[in-house]
């Protein structure tokens, strides 16, 4: 997606077009993914690349939080062991 968007892509203040969310959902189906690559514009590809990255980061944060909750991670209390 980033390659199709090109190096001139910049996010504007207007946000991603609504079509980006539809394209994202279509990427989940292998037979639809090829069509997305054919019909998406460079601007939409840039926004889709951004949206994919943001989605991955949110998912990683969610997984990290879930693991921490499962492990019940608490801050360690460090005692001084100076003799």
Q: Is the pLDDT of residue 6 over 80?
A: no
Band (83; pLDDT cuts 50, 70, 90): low
pLDDT tens digits, 16-69? 888 888 888 888 888 888 888 888 888 888 888 889 999 999 999 999 988 888
Domain ranges in the chain are: 2-71
Closest CA to 18 of 47, 49, 42: 47
Buried b / exposed e across 54-64, counting CB within 10 Å, b at 16+?
A: eeeeeeeeeee
């Amino acid at each position: 997606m980033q390659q199709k968007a090109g190096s001139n892509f910049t996010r504007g203040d207007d946000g991603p077009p609504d079509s980006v969310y539809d394209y994202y959902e279509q990427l989940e189906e292998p037979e639809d993914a090829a069509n997305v690559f054919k019909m998406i514009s460079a601007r939409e590809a840039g926004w889709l690349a951004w949206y994919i990255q943001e989605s991955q980061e949110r998912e990683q944060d969610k997984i990290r939080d879930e693991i921490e909750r499962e492990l019940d991670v608490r801050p360690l209390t460090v005692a001084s062991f100076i003799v």
